[in-house]
Amino acid sequence: MTHIGILCPTLTGHLNPMLALGGELQRRSHRVTVVGLLDGKTKVLAAGLEFLAIGTTEFPQGSTPQSLHQLGALSGIAALRYSLALVKRATAVLLAEGPAALKTAGVDCLLIDQALHGGSTVAQVLNLPFITVCCALMLNPEPDVPPFFTPWHYGSAGWARLRNQAGYQLLALLANSSMRQIADYRQQWHLPPLRSQNDAYSELAQICQQPAEFAFPRQFLPACFHFTGPYVNPASRESTAFPFEQLTGQPLIYASLGTLQNRLLWLFEAIAAACQGLDVQLVMALGGGAQPESLPALPGSPLVVGYAPQLELLPKAALTITHAGMNTVLESLSNGVPLVAIPITNDQPGVAARIAWTGTGEFILPNQLTVPKLRRKICQVLTQASYRQQAARLQQAIQASGGAPQAADIIEQVMSTGKPVLTTKPYAKR
């Protein structure tokens, strides 16, 4: 038995896949402890894993919902700036308290969310083997691949590379203070400086819950990078009541903007108006941004709930309208459901660009959204067979990718050999 530590943000989109992966490892008789902020404790314990809190002074109970309440009203670069400021605060706590907590816990290796800045530095100062886990859109930079926070299409032309370079420079500027913070600790701990973003990722294994078919063409991924497909465990999800008896049998459109940017209530109103008059039933999950009873009467009288049992609804859906959060997108495609995305911030624009790239749906940016435009996108994806065909293609790719069991095999191989696990399926440029 190995004692595995998990470091990841205390956010649903990161915790859900990590808890599914941790549950698979626990099923294989490993001990699994999630180290993070107090607001993740209830969810982790409900999933049957151990929890160790850090940052209880800087991030007391309830601080995460409070921060998300503020983030939920923002979009675009403003939301990205706010997210990076939160990352900086969380990174400071991780660097200050993480090493001692992990040493006391006695973990043998670490699974580190790729989005968690500073995680690899903590692992290296403790001389712990670690594996990078891409729960959100993979962040590995390449000249031909646009930065994660942009809705830009893939392009290998010279102008596209210059555009991408400018995007990466903007991201580096926005994240500069957090990177300086990490550099200071590395110098203090006599660790070599990080020459590039890729230096922060594991040389033993990097595992990604995207299937390869949902990634832009890649040329420079390390040999230890593995596309494993999504990590989903219904048993690790909190039970959610839902009035299934109110489903009418009409084609079901499931709309969710996740749990982060869910206070933009005008978007819910626009979605309802765009679906009004169509021969569909619209189910809207507010994700905690508001209570259904607090909303004004919406056009078309959609079925509105605070939270929905997403894994149970998606098999019944004809279309998902989403903010392009990675988990909702992958869970929709796992059921062969095409998408209309309204990406708001962080990696959502990049995920939306890949929805369009794969032909599994369409997207529209919030600052370009009107009800007629959104209605046209919805009708287009609902009525043109190619979108469902492409979603079915991705569904087959996900089914063949291995998911959490495949990822756990890779992790166990790293733990047993201490050597890099190289992919047997090199991802060549398409």
Look at residue 18 and give its three-state secondary structure. helix
What's the confidence (pLDDT) of residue 155? Answer: 86
Helix (H) / strand (E) containing 321: strand 317-322
* Nearest CA-CA partner of 121 in 98, 87, 90: 98
Sign of CA dihedral 360, 225, 413, 411: negative
Residue 390, token pair as written in the block: 């492409």
What's the confidence (pLDDT) of residue 128? Answer: 98
Cα 279 from Cα 19, distance rounded (Å)? 38
Higher pLDDT, 360 or 71: 360
Judge whether 3-229+402-417 and 241-398 match in fold: yes
Residue 360, token pair as written in the block: 């599994």
Residues 283, 404, 327: CA angle, nearest 5 degrees: 30
Higher pLDDT, 70 or 50: 50
Asked whether the beta carbons of 217 and 142 are under 8 A apart, the reply is no
Asked whether the beta carbons of 126 and 102 are under 8 A apart, the reply is yes
DSSP string, 76-140: HHHHHHHHHHHHHHHHHHHHHHHHHHHHHHT-SEEEEETT-TTHHHHHHHTT--EEEEE-SS---
Domain borders along the chain are 3-229+402-417, 241-398
DSSP string, 342-376: ---STTHHHHHHHHHHHTSEEE--GGG--HHHHHH
pLDDT per position as a tens digit, 210-232: 999 999 999 999 999 999 999 99
pLDDT per position as a tens digit, 2-35: 999 999 998 888 999 999 999 999 999 999 999 9
Residue 130, token pair as written in the block: 């670690």
- CATH architecture, domain defined by 241-398: 3-Layer(aba) Sandwich (3.40)
Residue 346, token pair as written in the block: 């962080």
Asked whether the beta carbons of 304 and 254 are under 8 A apart, the reply is no
Q: In what order do the strands lie in the sheet with 252-256?
A: 303-305, 281-285, 252-256, 317-322, 339-341, 361-363
Cα 360 from Cα 338, distance rounded (Å)? 5
pLDDT per position as a tens digit, 141-173: 999 999 999 999 998 899 999 999 999 999 999
Average pLDDT of the chain is 92
Cα 288 from Cα 258, distance rounded (Å)? 9
Residues with Cβ < 8 Å from 297, sequence gap 6 or more?
none
What are residue 136's phi and psi, to 5 degrees? -95, -165
Quick check: 238 pLDDT over 90?
no
For residue 232, the tally of other CB atoms under 10 A from its CB is 20
What's the CATH number of domain 3-229+402-417, 3.40.50.2300, 3.40.50.2000, 3.40.50.11540, 3.40.50.1170? 3.40.50.2000
Number of residues that this document lists for the chain? 430
The whole-model pTM stands at: 0.93
Instruction: Provide the residue type at 339 as one letter.
Output: L
Residue 79, Ramachandran bin (φ over 0: left; ψ between -120 and 50: alpha; else beta): alpha
DSSP string, 255-294: EE--SSS---HHHHHHHHHHHTTSSSEEEEE-TTSS-GGG
Quick check: 429 pLDDT over 50?
no
Quick check: 428 pLDDT over 60?
no
Instruction: Provide the residue type at 415 as one letter.
Output: M
Residues with Cβ < 8 Å from 421, sequence gap 6 or more?
204, 205, 224, 226, 410, 413, 414
Burial class from Cβ neighbours inside 10 Å (0-12, 13-18, 19+) for residue 417 reads exposed
What's the confidence (pLDDT) of residue 260? Answer: 54
What's the confidence (pLDDT) of residue 237? Answer: 81
Name which of 37-51, 255-269, 393-407 the model is least confident about: 255-269
pLDDT per position as a tens digit, 304-350: 998 999 999 999 999 999 999 999 999 999 999 999 999 998 999 99
DSSP string, 21-64: HHHHHHHTT-EEEEEE-GGGHHHHHHTT-EEEE--TTTS-TTHH
What's the confidence (pLDDT) of residue 430? Answer: 37
Look at residue 359 and give its three-state secondary structure. coil
Cα 207 from Cα 32, distance rounded (Å)? 18
pLDDT per position as a tens digit, 68-97: 667 767 777 888 888 878 888 888 999 999
What's the confidence (pLDDT) of residue 100? Answer: 96
Read off the DSSP letter of residue 46: H
Quick check: 261 pLDDT over 60?
no
What's the confidence (pLDDT) of residue 19? Answer: 97
* Nearest CA-CA partner of 15 in 167, 177, 133: 133
Asked whether the beta carbons of 232 and 403 are under 8 A apart, the reply is yes
Q: Report the pLDDT averaged over residues 49-53.
A: 97
Asked whether the beta carbons of 402 and 203 are under 8 A apart, the reply is no
Asked whether the beta carbons of 263 and 283 are under 8 A apart, the reply is no
Cα 334 from Cα 23, distance rounded (Å)? 20
Cα 229 from Cα 331, distance rounded (Å)? 10
